[in-house]
A and B are shown apart, each in its own frame.
Chain A
Amino acid sequence: MHLSADTDNQSNEPRVWAIGGGKGGVGKSVICTALAMSLARQGERCVVIDADLGGANLHTFLGMPNPRHTLSDLFRKKVDGLEDILLPTPYENLSLVSGTRAMLDMANLSYQQKMKMIRQIFALPADHIFLDLGAGSSYNVLDFFIAANDGLLVIMPTPTSIENAYHFLRAVYFRKLRKVMKRLGVDELVNSSLNEKVRGGIRTPQDLMADLKQRDPGVGNAIALEMEQFSPCLIVNQAQRNENSELADEIAMACRDFFGIEVKVSGVVRADERVLISLNSRRPVLDMFPNSPFAEDVQRIVRKMTPDTEAEHERRSTAAQL
């Protein structure tokens, strides 16, 4: 479920991926860049959008100088649309929308600005769009995460990262719930009991759903049906080979039982010191170390998440051979 500017032209609409995860420094930007690079190399038109409003530096990950056009130009109405600030990168099929830098007012987008930007994102001429979200669980981050086709949660195997990820998940869930209730026109009806219940000890979405269904089966079931669509993906980054092999599945299991949220495991990315080297050289890992364990793992994730693209390329290459 996402907002779309152009509903009768769905086949040309890009697939929008949002990369979040609550905690800073877990590798969201590195993973985001690598996913986009991997698909761009397959010939897919990709755009990375630096949506870390207030702390943007995705251009550095791509080895680009300070960008001349950024999202600030859009928000200050210096340009007409998102398309006008699309920057080419040194890599084929890959464009960048640079974020705002050191502009605290931009971290507080109005809701209208945000919705306008989301509509423009879905109207960009591309196959895949990657939103690199900032850390934390602010409404800006949550709303982009909810609007995307695929919400990717990047974590690393540390207690703090996992704790933040759970916090993030819960925040996204409740934000989406409010939106669903608003759309169904039941926000007033349910709100009061909700607030009372949240204070009175309902702590997980699962408890909440059970309670809603009990209060009003019709409304409860309608909401539950919509909320079941919420199924974020999980990437465990910087994993240690032996210790963390099952962590992603365990987190998915815990999310299912504890929150009643179905988390899909996209994959595990091994810790790889080449990532730091490439960061310091300001060159993407997939460019500098295309055969590294990191690159392998990212490509495995891309294959898993875009089975159709894979099949399409096979078809094309077979056709070329004939």
Chain B
Amino acid sequence: MNEEALQRSYKRFGLTPDASLREVELAFHKLRKLYSDNSLATYSLLEDGDLPDRLNSLQAAYDMILQSRLYSQPASDQAFPERRQEDRRDQDSRIVVVDADPQQKPGLFLKQMREARNMSIHNVAERTKIGPHQLQCIEAQDFTALPAPVYLRGFLKEFCRAVKVQDPDQLVEAFMMLYSEAT
């Protein structure tokens, strides 16, 4: 990925790469709204027919940031030996049983799995680099606030891995099915 283009995307939102995903989302939606509402601040900037291009370029900047986070690897284990030990310790491999049906209510299933493993939303956010707000929307199956399917799929896999779902593919497919039905 072009590092400079990524920097520029952050800059457009007035953010730096250490911003949380939530901050990125907020800035993106605010800016989008500013252009769409034809507000005092923006109306004279856009000529007739410029709006769709502008919104597309904003979306592209937002997508670029999401994508960069999706593929960013966690810091190498070698560099943080103590973390590695810790990780091993909480390799919580015990089998937990929750009552939500992963096919019918994958969001609730993820939430219960997370709780069964004594993890907060923020623990998961830290581990997955996915914004807490996005995670909450996944748990609540609030489809309106979720990113495009290509990213959503990646988010779901990360979430499953973080709370150690036994059969992640099945859950991801179930969730994506519900998502496409709803949108």
Which residues of A are in contact with B by a Cβ distance under 8 Å?
Answer: 157-159, 162-163, 166, 206, 210, 213, 247, 250-251, 253-254, 256-258, 260
Contact = CB atoms under 8 A, between A and B. Distances in A.
Contacts of B39: 250
Given A159-B43, A162-B40, A162-B41, A254 B11 contact: no
Contacts of A158: 40
A158 B40 CA distance: 7
Interface residues of B, number: 17
Contacts of A258: 42, 45
Interface centre among B8, B13, B45 (most CB of A within 10 A): B45
Nearest to B61: A257
If over half of A's interface residues share one DSSP class (helix, strand or loop), that class is named, otherwise mixed; here it is: helix
A210 B13 CA distance: 17
Nearest to B46: A258
B31 interface: yes
Interface in B1-54: 4, 8, 11-14, 30-31, 34, 39-45
B40 A247 contact: yes
Contacts of A253: 14, 30-31, 34, 41
Contacts of B40: 157-159, 162, 247, 250
Interface of B: 4, 8, 11-14, 30-31, 34, 39-45, 58
14 contacts: A159-B43, A162-B44, A210-B8, A213-B4, A247-B40, A250-B40, A250-B42, A251-B41, A253-B30, A253-B31, A256-B14, A257-B31, A258-B42, A258-B45
A257 B12 contact: yes
Given A157-B40, A159-B40, A162-B40, A254 B4 contact: no
Contacts of A159: 40, 43-44
Contact of B45 (A206, A247, A254): A254
Interface centre among B14, B40, B43, B44 (most CB of A within 10 A): B40
B49 to A, nearest CB: 14
A256 B11 contact: yes
A163 B34 CA distance: 16
B44 A166 contact: yes
B32 to A, nearest CB: 10
A224 to B, nearest CB: 10
Contacts of A250: 34, 39-42
B34 A256 contact: no
B43 A256 contact: no
Nearest to B47: A203
Interface centre among A157, A158, A250 (most CB of B within 10 A): A250
Contacts of A251: 41
A228 to B, nearest CB: 10
A254 B58 CA distance: 12
Contacts of B44: 159, 162-163, 166
Contacts of B12: 256-257
Nearest to B13: A257
A250 B40 CA distance: 9
